[in-house]
């Protein structure tokens, strides 16, 4: 059944209600309810379908359940690392060596870049690890969430080895196979990287914001608030993490950095090895193929529980905590993820409603028609952006748009247009997902940073939009005319620098660093 314009009502409702009421849970639930009612044509059946089909249904999906348990277990691990003094030890070292906010923010960015293999693991590890440090340096939670979010999907989507590689190359392979083309999908993936203008410039823009010390829009106001008053978030904010972890900070335990670093490194190492093994690496397949074929949801469970076990053993061997204290701190960390987990479940439920309504297909259909070859990269950046923003899923947007984009590229411009168009689709989906308040990675970034989710969206949106506009001007439009992508990237960097110096204001001179902040 075709639902037409009604198919975009639930995601639009979720976005508008979230932005104007600040109640994400209520907004998502009402959006799912409205969508289920449209599908069933009956409000009573819509209500029962909301609960039984979409909410419960989202929890019958193996991937969703694995990611949910991973989020909870990472929360438990962070609770344990807080209780054993590990995060306190890292904070002490960073604060003692950092000359100011710039070096702390740069370390946050660097950690985000280094954890390139999965965007979920990236968001949760970086945000939870750096939060106590950025708090002491009087950096707003909004700024932390922005950096965490901007070094998650933008990094993972272009990394040569990541959980994204198999998905992206698989989409490319399926589309070119249907056209009977003898092309290497992984080679196409590599060739598209210079055309990922938004993803690359988003990473660069974070560095520019850090080292120029300039902010603008709602982020500038958030940073001024924190610098002047010490408030890490606004008075009316509702961070989607409880105070459970904050209450675990020990006063009578000397903070030792390795009690946090070793378990965190173990999570990274287990993830990398796990991806290789799970993807068939022991059977002789190449490392790229293994990483691309691996089930990341399963491997992330291995790594999170493996890191927890290693942390627990270290606590017992040093007699820092008893078994009961280890369990209690882990459970407290899990509790801190309760609200965020509910949001994730409702976001997945909304995704199920969108699938049944055909939301993504309707949006794509609106763009079909007479197309100019030179405008195809631009269109194929905007289209997945709209789909990802509405549905909160970059992978979903890629899945819908890529089968349309590749045939159009071949038909209108041949192989020369194929590479920029594929790159445009993949990075356009990242941009839409980056901005969407119903995106799981956006939610995870708010969760890991203990930031009010709507405040994160409001402060990040102008930054992401600025990068997207610059990407369009110097990247996607010239790409349709055959312009060199590397020159476009250089021009984009200079344009972003000029923008910051023209419209940005310094927020680092407001006051001296203080450690007594609102947490």
Tell me which H or E stretch contains 215. Answer: strand 214-215
Strand, helix or coil at 42?
coil
Q: Are 178 and 485 in contact (CB under 8 A)?
A: no
Taking alpha carbons only, the member of 236, 232, 156, 148 closest to residue 447 is 148
Task: Give me the pLDDT at residue 150, please.
Answer: 95
Q: What is the pLDDT of residue 30?
A: 93
Token output for 392: 């909160």
Express each pLDDT in 238-260 by its tens digit. Answer: 887 645 555 555 666 777 889 98
pTM over 0.85: no
> What is the spatial distance between Cα 38 and Cα 362, in angstroms, rounded to a whole number?
15
Helix (H) or strand (E) holding 451: none
pLDDT at 145: 95
pLDDT in the model for residue 182:
80
Query: Quick check: 425 and 402 in contact, CB under 8 A?
Result: yes
8 Å CB contact between 255 and 178: no
pLDDT-flagged residues of the chain (< 50): 242, 510-519
The pLDDT of residue 516 is: 37
Residues 6+ apart with CB under 8 A from 9: 34, 35, 38
pLDDT at 95: 62
To 10 degrees, the CA torsion angle through 324, 329, 335, 340? -150
CA dihedral defined by 20, 240, 448, 259, rounded to 10 degrees?
160
Nearest to 198 by CA among 498, 399, 475: 475
Written as six digits, the tokens of 391 are 């549905």
| Residue-level pLDDT at 370 | 58
What does the pLDDT read at residue 368? Answer: 57
C-alpha pair distances (Å), 147 with each of 72, 110, 181, 225, 278: 22, 10, 40, 18, 30
CA separation for the pair 228, 133 (Å, rounded) = 18
pLDDT of 196 reads 97
Task: Please state, in angstroms and rounded to a whole number, the distance separating the CA atoms of residues 319 and 327.
Answer: 15
**Cα(265)–Cα(129) distance, integer angstroms:** 12
Residue 382's nearest CA partner among 301, 468, 444 is: 468
The span from the CA of 193 to the CA of 176, in Å, is 18
């Amino acid at each position: 059944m075709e639902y037409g314009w009604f198919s975009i009502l639930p995601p639009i409702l979720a976005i508008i209600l979230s932005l104007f009421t600040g109640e994400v849970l209520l907004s998502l639930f009402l959006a799912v309810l409205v969508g289920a009612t449209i599908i069933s044509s009956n409000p009573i059946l819509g209500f029962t379908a909301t609960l039984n089909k979409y909410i419960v249904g989202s929890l019958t999906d193996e991937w969703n359940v694995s990611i949910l348990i991973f989020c909870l277990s990472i929360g438990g691990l962070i609770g344990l690392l807080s209780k054993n003094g590990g995060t306190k030890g890292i904070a002490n070292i960073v604060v003692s060596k950092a000359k100011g906010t710039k070096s702390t923010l740069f370390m946050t960015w660097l950690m985000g870049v280094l954890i390139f293999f999965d965007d979920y693991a990236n968001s949760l590890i970086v945000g939870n690890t750096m939060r106590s440090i950025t708090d002491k340096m009087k950096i707003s939670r909004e700024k932390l969430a922005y950096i965490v979010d901007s070094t998650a999907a933008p990094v993972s989507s272009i990394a040569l080895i990541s959980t994204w590689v198999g998905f992206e190359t698989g989409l490319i392979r399926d589309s070119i196979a249907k056209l009977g083309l003898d092309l290497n999908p992984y080679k196409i993936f590599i060739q598209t990287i210079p055309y990922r203008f938004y993803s690359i410039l988003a990473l660069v823009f974070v560095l520019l914001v850090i080292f120029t010390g300039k902010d603008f829009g709602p982020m500038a106001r958030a940073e001024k608030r924190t610098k002047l008053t010490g408030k890490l978030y606004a008075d009316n904010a509702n961070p989607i993490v409880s105070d459970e972890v904050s209450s675990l900070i020990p006063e009578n335990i000397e903070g030792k950095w390795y009690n946090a670093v070793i378990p965190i490194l173990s999570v990274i190492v287990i993830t990398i090895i796990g991806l290789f093994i799970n993807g068939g690496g022991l059977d002789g397949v190449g490392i790229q193929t293994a990483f691309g074929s691996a089930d990341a949801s399963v491997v992330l469970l291995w790594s999170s529980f493996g890191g927890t076990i290693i942390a627990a053993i270290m606590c017992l061997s040093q007699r820092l905590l008893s078994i009961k204290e280890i369990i209690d701190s882990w459970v407290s960390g899990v509790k801190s993820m309760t609200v965020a987990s509910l949001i994730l479940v409702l976001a997945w439920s909304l995704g199920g409603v969108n699938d049944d309504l055909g939301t993504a297909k309707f949006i794509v259909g609106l763009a079909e028609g007479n197309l100019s070859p030179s405008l195809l990269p631009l269109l194929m950046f905007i289209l997945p952006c709209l789909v990802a923003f509405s549905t909160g899923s970059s992978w979903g947007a890629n899945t819908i748009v890529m089968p349309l984009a590749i045939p159009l590229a071949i038909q209108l411009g041949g192989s020369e247009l194929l590479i920029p168009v594929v790159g445009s689709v993949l990075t356009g989906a990242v941009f839409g997902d980056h901005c969407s308040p119903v995106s799981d990675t956006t939610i995870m970034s708010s969760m890991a940073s203990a930031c009010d989710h709507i405040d994160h969206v409001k402060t990040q949106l102008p930054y992401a939009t600025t990068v997207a506009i610059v990407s369009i001007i110097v990247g996607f439009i010239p790409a349709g005319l055959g312009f060199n992508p590397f020159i476009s990237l250089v021009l984009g960097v200079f344009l972003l620098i000029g923008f910051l110096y023209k419209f940005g204001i310094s927020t680092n001179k407001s006051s001296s660093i203080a450690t007594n902040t609102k947490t």
